[in-house]
């Protein structure tokens, strides 16, 4: 049975569950000792119907197999995938490769990062994300996918994209949590009817946000985990969330939301204004001088 979570309606009318299961397990592939397969089985049993994967995760095959093995009708499962930087020159080819591994067509297809590279990770200056987006629009307008969007785009890069777009991205997936709430980006996306989706909504690994005293106090008041509070905050402010976990209990906790009071929402909203609490939490990005070769200025990021 599907969990009783709300859905968001994208600008084209497609509905997407507000809570999804993030399929990045910290390494490319299925993970150690079938970690991903076990987690996917637990997620389906807990009622998840939204699964977020990517070509770069190296596990589209496992995700597709889990969808098939679940016995849940395909139309009741929402699958998101993304293509990597080296596929910016041929998005149709990338989509076909994902379809072959998944054994299905993703419902939502995203440009994983705005920069284009070659197979060795060297930046390419002969293709822009505007040109890549045009290929995505062609696929969407031809009915090849139900929805298209971007990931890791800022107000700056979205503004540049919209100057030439025929189709406004239906989704923008970014790092988003109380230590990085990105209110300006949220406001911009609302203005343009773009659903903002949070990856790493709980931070990563031994995330300090999970032990934040303010979050813990709210969790105690509701008799739930801090993770439940963080995800409830995300959905309540109008963003989808795609947490990941390999732990069956946390998988269940992550899809069991609570209603936060306006005072509790304001408390969480204000956390990033506290000293030392306005920061990125994703490993490999936090504190980096460059993001896959792009500067923070090129990305339009103000927070390292």
Contact 82, 114 (CB under 8 A): no
Percent pLDDT > 90 in the chain is 86
Ranked by mean pLDDT, which of 21-35, 159-173, 270-284 comes out on top?
159-173
**Cα–Cα distance measured from residue 213 to residue 220, given in angstroms and rounded to the nearest whole number:** 10
Q: Catalytic residue positions?
A: 57
- For residue 110, the SS3 value is strand
State the pLDDT at residue 34: 74
pLDDT band at 27 (very low <50, low <70, confident <90, very high): low
Write the pLDDT tens digit of every residue in 94-142.
Answer: 999 999 999 999 999 999 999 999 999 999 999 999 999 999 999 999 9
Tell me which residue of 209, 199, 110, 207 sits closest to 161, measured CA to CA: 110
Write the pLDDT tens digit of every residue in 221-273.
Answer: 999 999 999 999 999 999 999 999 989 999 999 999 999 999 999 999 999 99
Contact 103, 69 (CB under 8 A): no
Is the pLDDT at 49 greater than 80? The verdict is: yes
Q: Which two tokens stand for residue 146?
A: 């139900």
Is the pLDDT at 35 greater than 90? The verdict is: no
How many Cα atoms within 13 Å fall on the side-chain side of residue 187?
3
Write the pLDDT tens digit of every residue in 56-76.
Answer: 999 999 999 999 999 999 999
State the pLDDT at residue 228: 96
Percent pLDDT > 70 in the chain is 96
State the pLDDT at residue 281: 84
**pTM confidence score:** 0.95
pLDDT band at 46 (very low <50, low <70, confident <90, very high): very high
Write the pLDDT tens digit of every residue in 171-181.
Answer: 999 999 999 99
pLDDT band at 32 (very low <50, low <70, confident <90, very high): low
In the chain, the largest separation of any two C-alpha atoms, in whole Å, equals 55
Contact 193, 284 (CB under 8 A): no
**Cα–Cα distance measured from residue 149 to residue 110, given in angstroms and rounded to the nearest whole number:** 5
Contact 233, 183 (CB under 8 A): no
State the pLDDT at residue 29: 64
Is the pLDDT at 33 greater than 60? The verdict is: no
Q: Which two tokens stand for residue 42?
A: 């637990």
Is the pLDDT at 198 greater than 70? The verdict is: yes
Element (H, E) at 100: helix 91-102
Contact 109, 136 (CB under 8 A): yes
* Residue labelled with tokens 């995300």: 234
* CA quadruple 122, 125, 126, 132: dihedral sign: positive
- CA 239, distance to chain mean position in Å, is 10
More confident residue, 134 or 203: 134
State the pLDDT at residue 30: 61
């Amino acid at each position: 049975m599907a969990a009783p979570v709300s859905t968001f309606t994208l600008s084209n009318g497609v509905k997407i569950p507000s809570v999804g299961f993030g399929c990045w397990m910290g390494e490319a592939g299925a993970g150690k000792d079938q970690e991903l397969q076990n987690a996917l089985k637990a997620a389906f049993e807990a009622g998840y119907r939204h699964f977020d994967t990517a070509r770069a995760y190296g596990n589209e095959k496992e995700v597709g197999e889990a969808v098939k093995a679940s016995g849940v009708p395909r139309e009741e499962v929402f699958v998101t995938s993304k293509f990597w930087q080296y596929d910016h020159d041929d998005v149709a080819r990338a989509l076909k490769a994902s379809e072959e591994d998944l054994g299905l067509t993703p419902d939502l297809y995203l440009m994983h990062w705005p920069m284009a590279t070659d197979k060795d990770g060297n930046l390419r200056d002969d293709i822009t994300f505007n040109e890549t987006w045009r290929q995505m629009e062609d696929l969407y307008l031809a009915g090849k996918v139900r929805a298209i969007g971007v990931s890791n785009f800022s107000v700056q890069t979205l503004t540049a994209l919209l100057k030439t777009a025929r189709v406004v991205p239906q989704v923008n997936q970014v790092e988003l949590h109380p230590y990085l709430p990105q209110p300006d980006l949220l406001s911009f996306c609302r203005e343009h009817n773009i659903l903002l989706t949070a990856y790493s909504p709980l931070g990563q690994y031994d995330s300090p946000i999970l032990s934040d005293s303010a979050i813990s106090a709210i969790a105690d008041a509701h008799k739930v985990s801090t993770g439940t509070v963080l995800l409830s905050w995300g959905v309540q402010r109008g963003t989808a969330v795609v947490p990941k976990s390999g732990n069956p209990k946390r998988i269940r906790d992550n899809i069991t939301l609570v209603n936060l009071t306006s005072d509790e929402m304001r408390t969480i909203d204000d956390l990033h204004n506290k000293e030392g609490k306005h920061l990125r939490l994703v490993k490999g990005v936090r504190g980096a001088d460059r993001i896959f070769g792009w500067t923070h200025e090129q990305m339009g990021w103000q927070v390292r």
